[in-house]
Amino acid sequence: MGLFRKINTEKYSGGRGTTSGVVRSEKRKGGRIRCSTMVCEHGSVIDLSPTGVRVLAKTKPDFVCGDTRSMTLRAEEHELELRGKCVWIRVNERCEYEAGFEFLHVTPAIRRTLVEMAATAQASDGLTRGWAPMQWWKQAR
């Protein structure tokens, strides 16, 4: 018999597989890059895309789905402040919290900075889901 964790669906949504009948990977507007050296005030950045970020927090977050938050992304010498809307929160198998934020009001200058940060903070396992910083850099110019 397996262990199941019940979560309050008013505060936490998301999970594995599908959400509202649409596979999560099909909802993403761009690819993503795994990050190993990027952080923000909400936790460690797991991956970054042109449209959002996935964050890992060891403790229960002080926000719920639908909240808009300021966040400062930091990777080595780069730092970028922007706003994001929490679109999902879930508890992983290690009882840590993962949250997905969609970036709001991304300008071309912000996109260029995100590209630089992604290249700096990229994990050693490389690119995932077809998002290459150099392709994105050409689009951002």
pLDDT digits (tens, 9 = 90+) for 36-56: 889 999 999 999 888 899 999
Domain interval for residue 106: 18-140
- CATH number of the domain that residue 24 is part of: 2.40.10.220
Least confident of 56-60, 111-115, 126-130: 126-130
Average pLDDT over residues 90-118: 91
Task: Report yes or no on 23 lying in a domain.
Answer: yes
Task: Give me the number of domains the chain comprises.
Answer: 1
Task: Report yes or no on 57 lying in a domain.
Answer: yes
Tokens describing residue 130: 């077809």
Whole-number Å distance between alpha carbons of 67 and 106 = 18
Of 140, 136, 141, residue with least CA distance to 32: 136
Mean per-residue pLDDT over the chain, rounded: 75
Whole-number Å distance between alpha carbons of 98 and 13 = 11
pLDDT of residue 42: 93
| Residue 91, phi then psi, degrees to nearest 5 | -100, 130
pLDDT of residue 29: 57
pLDDT of residue 16: 45
Task: Report yes or no on 3 lying in a domain.
Answer: no
Task: Report yes or no on 126 lying in a domain.
Answer: yes
